């Protein structure tokens, strides 16, 4: 059962101006008794990372508990719920990112967020080609049992959600506004259908929050954070989907992009991602499926996460350099230059060893030339 005191305190933290999500996360992670957070002394508060004099005073002076209780009451009225980082419903994959939201409002099934899935992102002003690719790839991915994550915006987002619904698949919409203030309003019916079909509509922004341009990059990090990979269907070089792709790379997620005609300005972002090696070029759906860390059952109707096995490299007879590479990659993923520095070897020598390990299916090369164990 959800602890009401902890819930009230976490909501209160989100309502304190200037506190910042980073400080809030430190408090949540370091405070053993969150239910007593607002009863701590200034000295105790300042013992937490990132909490200085001003922050401690801001917490101690907070007294707008009426707004906190109103948020809880209004959430119940609209048939929604608030999920916090301390709740078992909070998806582990989202917890792994650098800056996960400490809580979010949700309408629908909280378990939908835990399903293995991919994000479908792209421009609001999609071309005929972009719309066709969005529908084609989303439909095939959804038919494989993958959950479809997106932002419920016009264009590619809407096509992604609708294509998943059309084949009876689960889809999750992440908003840049309060869930009671749906944007765009024209997607209200789609949002309702998402909830009815076993999916979810979520937002880390409090009830009543209006759409704001500063909210959307925050929304995008959640879209990518919930996903195993991000598929950029169509985007200009400065499109919001480029931000999502960058966030996905930072979160160690797979990034894919659909190639576009050289004279299509709304596809220049996709081509750029492919050109610089930040995204894998997608021509068929298997180009995506083969890169995802999931096992597709033989009936083709469901996907399940693979359980981690003992590192396969230990089963091979490897030379000293290859063994050292695997030992490092067992700890974390590395870009080639960083790995060369760590092992004190020349890049050219390292490349040969990496290629051999890749051919043996011991390691894999992710987008952005990041190497990791399979």
Instruction: Quote the pLDDT of residue 263.
Output: 87
Point out which residues pair with 364 in neighbouring strands.
372
Q: For residue range 157-193, what is the model confidence (pLDDT) as tens digits?
A: 999 999 999 999 999 999 999 999 999 999 999 999 9
Biggest CA-to-CA distance, the chain: 66
Instruction: Quote the pLDDT of residue 296.
Output: 60
Rg (CA), the chain: 22
Distance CA 64, CA 62 (A): 6
DSSP, res 211: P
- Domain 312-373 classification at class level: mainly alpha
Contacts for 262 with CB less than 8 Å, ≥ 6 apart? 271
Instruction: Quote the pLDDT of residue 21.
Output: 74
User: What is the pTM assigned to this prediction?
Assistant: 0.79
- Using the structure block, give the residue that is written with the tokens 């969005």: 134
Distance CA 105, CA 81 (A): 6
Instruction: Quote the pLDDT of residue 305.
Output: 44
* CATH-assigned architecture of domain 110-303: 3-Layer(aba) Sandwich (3.40)
Q: For residue range 30-68, what is the model confidence (pLDDT) as tens digits?
A: 888 888 999 999 999 998 888 889 999 999 999 999 999
Q: Which fold has domain 1-70?
A: DNA polymerase; domain 1 (1.10.150)
Dihedral angle, C-alpha 267, 201, 8, 67, nearest 10 °: 80
Torsions phi, psi of 109, nearest 5? -95, 115
Task: Report domain extents, the chain.
Answer: 1-70, 110-303, 312-373
Distances (CA, A) of 198 to 67, 149, 229: 31, 13, 21
Residue 285: count other Cβ atoms within 10 Å of its Cβ: 17
Distances (CA, A) of 77 to 9, 193, 200, 207, 280: 20, 19, 17, 11, 44
Please classify residue 1 by burial: count the beta carbons closer than 10 Å to its beta carbon, then call 0-12 exposed, 13-18 middle and 19+ buried: exposed
Instruction: Quote the pLDDT of residue 347.
Output: 86
Contacts for 195 with CB less than 8 Å, ≥ 6 apart? 107, 108, 201
pLDDT per residue of the chain (374 residues) written in tens, 0 to 9? 578 899 999 999 988 888 877 788 888 888 888 889 999 999 999 988 888 899 999 999 999 999 999 999 999 999 999 999 889 999 999 998 988 999 999 999 999 999 999 999 999 999 999 999 999 999 999 999 999 999 999 999 999 999 999 999 999 999 999 999 999 999 999 999 999 999 999 999 999 999 998 899 999 999 999 999 999 999 999 989 999 999 999 999 999 999 999 988 999 999 999 999 999 999 999 999 999 988 665 444 444 443 334 446 888 889 999 999 999 998 888 888 889 999 999 988 998 899 888 888 788 877 667 888 87
CA nearest 304: which of 318, 293, 312, 319?
293
Phi-psi region of 252 (alpha: psi -120 to 50; beta: other; left: phi over 0): left
Instruction: Quote the pLDDT of residue 371.
Output: 86
Instruction: Quote the pLDDT of residue 315.
Output: 80
Instruction: Quote the pLDDT of residue 304.
Output: 44
Instruction: Quote the pLDDT of residue 93.
Output: 94
């Amino acid at each position: 059962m959800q602890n009401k005191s902890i819930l009230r305190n976490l909501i209160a933290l989100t309502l304190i101006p200037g506190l910042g999500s980073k400080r809030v996360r430190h408090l949540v992670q370091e405070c053993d008794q969150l239910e007593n957070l607002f009863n701590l002394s200034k000295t105790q508060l300042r013992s937490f990372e990132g909490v200085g004099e001003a922050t401690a005073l801001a917490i101690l002076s907070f007294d707008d508990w009426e707004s906190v209780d109103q948020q809880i009451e209004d959430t119940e009225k609209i048939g929604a719920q608030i999920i916090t980082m301390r709740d078992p419903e909070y998806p582990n994959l989202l917890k792994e990112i650098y800056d996960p939201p400490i809580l979010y409002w949700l309408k629908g099934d909280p378990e939908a967020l835990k399903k293995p899935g991919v994000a479908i992102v792209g421009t609001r002003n999609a071309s005929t080609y972009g719309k066709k690719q969005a529908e084609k790839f989303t439909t095939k991915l959804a038919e494989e049992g993958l959950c479809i994550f997106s932002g419920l915006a016009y264009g590619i987002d809407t096509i992604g959600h609708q294509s998943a619904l059309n084949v009876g698949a689960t889809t999750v919409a992440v908003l840049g506004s309060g869930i009671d203030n749906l944007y765009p309003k024209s997607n209200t019916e789609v949002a309702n259908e998402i909830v009815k079909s076993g999916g979810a509509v979520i937002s880390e922004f409090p009830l009543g929050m209006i759409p704001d341009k500063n909210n959307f990059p925050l929304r995008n990090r959640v879209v990518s954070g919930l996903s195993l990979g991000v598929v950029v269907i169509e985007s200009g070089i400065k499109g919001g989907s480029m931000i999502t792709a960058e966030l996905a790379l930072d979160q160690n997620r797979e990034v894919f992009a659909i190639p576009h005609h050289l004279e299509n300005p709304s596809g220049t972002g996709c081509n750029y991602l492919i050109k610089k090696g930040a995204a894998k070029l997608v021509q068929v759906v298997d180009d995506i499926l083969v890169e995802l860390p999931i096992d597709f059952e033989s009936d083709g109707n469901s996907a399940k996460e693979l359980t981690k096995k003992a590192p396969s490299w230990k089963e091979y007879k490897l030379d000293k350099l290859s063994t050292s590479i695997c030992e490092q990659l067992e700890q974390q993923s590395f870009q080639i230059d960083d790995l060369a520095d760590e092992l004190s070897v020349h890049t050219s020598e390292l490349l040969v060893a990496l290629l051999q390990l890749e051919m043996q299916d011991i390691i894999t090369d992710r987008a952005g030339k990041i190497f990791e164990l399979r």
